[in-house]
Amino acid sequence: MTGIGSAEVRYGDATIIAEIKSVNNRFLELSCRMAPMLSLYEKDIRDLVRETIHRGKLYVTVTVQGETEDTLGLKVDPQTVTTIRTLLQDLRKQAGIRESLKLDHFLKFSEVFESRSQTKQLEQIWLKTRHALMQALDKLKSMRDQEGKALVEDIVARVRELETHVATVERISRESLPEIHRRMVDRVRQITKESELDEARLYTEIALLSDKLDVTEECVRLHSHHQLFFQILEKEKAVGKKLTFLLQEMNREVNTISAKSNHAEISHRVVQMKEEIEKLREQVQNLE
């Protein structure tokens, strides 16, 4: 589901800003951008997000505005910068790279920053950052929950529409079986009218064939799948993957009904059911 959450936390003269954007995705994908002094905490940031969000493509950004050396306890180490520049220039020559050196290349090396404060101060900065991230996650989750409620309402309506189609297919199949049975008997008699027939054997074979055309069993399973669908939506938190698997089973039953039946109205209903299941697949991918 889509959404955005952001929060700001003050630390001395600096402001730590956490922003998390989410777009639809079948799996959880994280993209993190953060201030250099927080690079050591990237795994902690990813773990914190995973505890709250389980599905979606997320863009996590943590910036620090108005920072000073006294606040952050960091300064550039000139000797390290010189060494890294020499190494990068040698690499350019040996690899035949024409691209000029940029600031981004140096920021890949955390060694360019020298700590002027105790480790405890850096930990305090992380605690403030964590607090901002948690606030941003709460806001994102609230927005996703609102969107999720509307999404669930649409999903429930589509499943109920499916239930209506299944009930109609079940009724048509039940009502048409006697007629199908009669036509089979007439057809067999017409084909074999000059031969002697074993009536008992004839009716047994036709009964078996009629049973193969009966879709009651598939309809019963679909009713069961629909009830399970509602139970998962109502009682479980992470439902996306389970509902995706359940929809695969529902589609399999509908395909079997299509293969068994030669009734025009049932064929029309099958097409409508497949359309609803396809729409449900798209919607379910947006749920947690």
Task: Render pLDDT for 158-175 as a digit per residue (tens, 0 to 9).
Answer: 999 999 999 999 888 888
pLDDT of 273 above 50 = yes
Give the span between the Cα atoms of 176 and 162, in whole angstroms: 21
With beta carbons less than 8 A apart as the criterion, state whether 224 and 216 touch: no
Are 137 and 53 a contacting pair, CB within 8 Å? yes
Cβ atoms 65, 153 nearer than 8 A: no
pLDDT over 50 (residue 69): no
| pLDDT at position 157 over 80 | yes
Tens of pLDDT, residues 101-125: 888 888 788 777 766 554 667 788 8
Q: What is the rounded end-to-end Cα distance, in angstroms, of the chain?
A: 8
